[in-house]
Structure 1
Amino acid sequence: MVQQKVIPLSLDTVIKPFSKKLDLPLTKKQITVLQINLGKRCNLACSHCHVEASPRRTEELSPEICNQLIELIEKFPQIKIVDLTGGAPEMLYGFKPIVEAARANGKQVIVRSNLTIYFETGFGDIPDYCAQNQVRIVASLPCYLSDNVDKMRGNGVYDASICALQWLNSLGYGQDPNLILDLVYNPQLPVTDNFSLTPNQASLEQDYKIFLQEHFGIVFNNLFAITNLPIGRTKLYLERKKLYRPYLHFLAENFNSTTVEHLMCRDELSIDYLGNVYDCDFNQMENLPSKTYDGETLTVAKLLASGTLDLIAEIRTAHYCYGCTAGCGSSCGGTLVES
């Protein structure tokens, strides 16, 4: 008896493509946010990292691209926020020059910090530097309990993070209105197909604030509850557990159309360390570059040459976009709509 070869169904057969879920094409609003990934080198190697950053990675910004980014910041007043990420952005080339150029041009600067970088040799000046330049710090603390944090980020990370937050508080962060300190919650990676949506952000923020204040005297401004998108190390983990497709299906089943208007890809450009342009950080990690009206891929050099930031015909989407639109939605600034 000849056995027939079983051909697995494509994702598009099992899950409706995200673009077909929408009533209208997903288009850009005016660009106000420039998110720059300075590279993939990091002092940590977190289990859920969609960038797959680690101490072994060497990719980072070059002087040429750094200069182009500074020119872009200086050229376009419509850019209100410069959002720096990595890897650990504080340890990568271009961090301080870009911070200073952005602040000199009246932009808000966000740095997405793992907090532990402050205790690495050569980076002990970063908290004071950020305070002096009124940098908004968005710090990863995926749970307020130590076991969960160390499980996701490595042994000792929780204790170092607590010390870093106390350090930032001593400089005025979380208290001075010009020194904003936000924390980021990430759910634990699932071990079964009994998935759940990200908890209510406002309620979770109160839990964080009460616990951290009572146990460590720590204060902060906002909590951002972020959904784990199935890309990078999260995707690899889900595939090993045979949970990748079930998780995508769960996210798609919980699609909330009211989140679409508020998606972070609508008003931002995501730039990688090579100067390529993407609609968002997730597309960047999945190598899905932005396209112009003529179908060309975009770079910072092309933006500068054109004299406009409005060259993108339509935001490119993929199945993982359901992660940003499930339940209350998810973005680099937390949930998108109230529950």
Structure 2
Amino acid sequence: MVLSSNSLQATASANAFETALGSPLTKQNIQVLQINLGRRCNLSCTHCHVEAGPHRTEELTPAVLAQLLEILDRFPQIRTVDLTGGAPEMNYGFRPLVERAHALGKEIIVRSNLTIFFEPGFADLPAYFTQHQVRVVASLPCYLPDNVDSMRGQGVYDSSIRAIQQLNALGYGTDPNLILDLVYNPPIPKDENFRLTPSQAALEGDYKAYLAENFDIAFNQLLTITNIPIGRTRFQLEHRGLLAPYTEFLAAHHNPANVSGLMCRNELSIDYEGRVYDCDFNQMAGVSACTPDGEPITLERLLAAESLDVIATVQTRPYCYGCTAGSGSSCGGALTN
């Protein structure tokens, strides 16, 4: 088969990260099920790679919810159920998944924007999280108000502080069973003065000191996450002519020590239509996880195969350098010191 120049370029681009590794990135035993429940959200953050917002209507269907519940029941190897969105709390299927995962003794992560607590119909969320011992991973891209509001919307910082105080009052941040982690995202670059994500440990100290002194707030960990050039981040980089140089910057700072801890290796990322991806970023880029013979994977295929471990290698793209640059980046924060 003779490939066109466009096809050759696309193939080279897709394989750039794999070439840097020197071999395909292999999948490991699946332990994490990350589920994107939909694009509906009460915020429209400038850095959102999901491009979520109040006017998005895509969300989980009853049929996909039934498949997910069956997956949880049939595969005890799943240790963590990681719920994201959009605002996951706003999308169909959120509470049934929390309750089934809790009944099965799984770790439950909810990636919350915190401001959802103050939307009509969601005021009970702090108590609900406490009841089900949900680990709350909450976006607070800076400990200073101006930076947060510029990225996430006017008033978001104040709402986030009030929400954290509500969680603290219920034991989050101090009770070992009630984990509250905050997430730092750097601003999207406006010029070629690119910087790696700061030291997670040092920045966590700054967050904890400032928030304790000014708001009497406690939390467990700070997770630093690199801006991956996907979604709105990609759009803004392209608009400024920075997409290629930013991707090259990430590639130039590739750290092989981060590869062993990449989140894509032991997780499945599921979209609201039941399609399976290696990670959330591949999901947003439309890069499906595949069987060794190249067939895209769905929940239906996993159930038919009676196995979650049907993927041999991770689908990689140049934006994968965002997860290996510097100290690394994953849904659990930095990968190395």
- Structure 1 segment 268-283 matched on structure 2, within 5 A: 268-283=267-282
Give the CA deviation at 1:24: 2.0
Instruction: Letter of the 1:258 partner, please give it.
Output: A
Instruction: Letter of the 1:226 partner, please give it.
Output: I
1:27 equivalent in alignment to 2:46: no
Determine helix, strand or coil for the equivalent of 2:283: helix
Give the CA deviation at 1:294: 2.2
Instruction: Letter of the 2:102 partner, please give it.
Output: R
- Structure 1 segment 211-250 matched on structure 2, within 5 A: 211-250=210-249
Residue in 2 that maps onto 1:155:
154
CA-to-partner distance for each residue in 1:280-317, whole Å, 9 max, x for gaps? Answer: 00000000000012221111111111110111121000
Give the CA deviation at 1:84: 0.1
Residue in 2 that maps onto 1:267:
266
1:15–1:31 distance in 2 versus 1, CA, 3 Å: closer
- Calculate the TM-score normalised by the size of structure 1: 0.95
Q: Give the Cα–Cα distance (whole angstroms) in 2 for the partners of residues 284 and 119 of structure 1.
A: 29
Query: Between Structure 1 and Structure 2, how many residues are aligned?
Result: 331
> Does the Cα contact within 8 Å between 1:39 and 1:60 map onto a contact in 2?
yes
Residue in 2 that maps onto 1:182:
181
Q: Give the Cα–Cα distance (whole angstroms) in 2 for the partners of residues 285 and 269 of structure 1.
A: 14
Q: Give the Cα–Cα distance (whole angstroms) in 2 for the partners of residues 16 and 68 of structure 1.
A: 32
1:258 equivalent in alignment to 2:257: yes
Q: Give the Cα–Cα distance (whole angstroms) in 2 for the partners of residues 200 and 149 of structure 1.
A: 19
Q: Give the Cα–Cα distance (whole angstroms) in 2 for the partners of residues 279 and 113 of structure 1.
A: 22
Q: Give the Cα–Cα distance (whole angstroms) in 2 for the partners of residues 91 and 37 of structure 1.
A: 12
Q: After the TM superposition, which of the residue ranges 89-98 and 10-19 deviates more from structure 2?
A: 10-19
Residue in 2 that maps onto 1:104:
103
Residue in 2 that maps onto 1:306:
305
> Does the Cα contact within 8 Å between 2:16 and 2:317 map onto a contact in 1?
yes
1:15–1:314 distance in 2 versus 1, CA, 3 Å: closer
Q: Give the Cα–Cα distance (whole angstroms) in 2 for the partners of residues 22 and 150 of structure 1.
A: 38
- Structure 1 segment 14-163 matched on structure 2, within 5 A: 17-163=16-162
Q: Give the Cα–Cα distance (whole angstroms) in 1 for the partners of residues 47 and 11 of structure 2.
A: 25
Q: Give the Cα–Cα distance (whole angstroms) in 2 for the partners of residues 50 and 294 of structure 1.
A: 29
1:136–1:206 distance in 2 versus 1, CA, 3 Å: same
Q: Give the Cα–Cα distance (whole angstroms) in 2 for the partners of residues 210 and 10 of structure 1.
A: 49
CA-to-partner distance for each residue in 1:249-271, whole Å, 9 max, x for gaps? Answer: 00000001111111000100000
Instruction: Letter of the 2:289 partner, please give it.
Output: S
Instruction: Letter of the 2:253 partner, please give it.
Output: N
Determine helix, strand or coil for the equivalent of 2:149: helix
Instruction: Letter of the 2:166 partner, please give it.
Output: W
Residue in 2 that maps onto 1:318:
317
- Calculate the TM-score normalised by the size of structure 2: 0.96
> Does the Cα contact within 8 Å between 2:36 and 2:88 map onto a contact in 1?
yes
Determine helix, strand or coil for the equivalent of 1:245: helix
1:310–1:14 distance in 2 versus 1, CA, 3 Å: closer
1:280–1:14 distance in 2 versus 1, CA, 3 Å: closer
Determine helix, strand or coil for the equivalent of 1:17: helix
CA-to-partner distance for each residue in 1:205-240, whole Å, 9 max, x for gaps? Answer: 000000000000000000000000001000000000
Q: Give the Cα–Cα distance (whole angstroms) in 1 for the partners of residues 12 and 93 of structure 2.
A: 44
Q: After the TM superposition, which of the residue ranges 146-155 and 19-28 deviates more from structure 2?
A: 19-28
Structure 2 unmatched ranges of 5 or more: 1-5
> Does the Cα contact within 8 Å between 2:14 and 2:317 map onto a contact in 1?
no
> Does the Cα contact within 8 Å between 1:15 and 1:249 map onto a contact in 2?
no
Instruction: Letter of the 1:151 partner, please give it.
Output: S
Residue in 1 that maps onto 2:3:
none
CA-to-partner distance for each residue in 1:156-214, whole Å, 9 max, x for gaps? Answer: 00000000000000011001100000000000111110100000000000000000000
Q: Give the Cα–Cα distance (whole angstroms) in 2 for the partners of residues 135 and 186 of structure 1.
A: 22
Q: Give the Cα–Cα distance (whole angstroms) in 1 for the partners of residues 98 and 301 of structure 2.
A: 23
Q: Give the Cα–Cα distance (whole angstroms) in 1 for the partners of residues 13 and 126 of structure 2.
A: 48
Determine helix, strand or coil for the equivalent of 1:175: coil
Residue in 2 that maps onto 1:4:
none
1:56–1:284 distance in 2 versus 1, CA, 3 Å: same
Q: Give the Cα–Cα distance (whole angstroms) in 2 for the partners of residues 14 and 276 of structure 1.
A: 23
CA-to-partner distance for each residue in 1:12-69, whole Å, 9 max, x for gaps? Answer: 8899811111122101111000000000000000000000000010000011100110
When the two chains are superposed, the root-mean-square deviation of aligned CA atoms in Å is 1.5
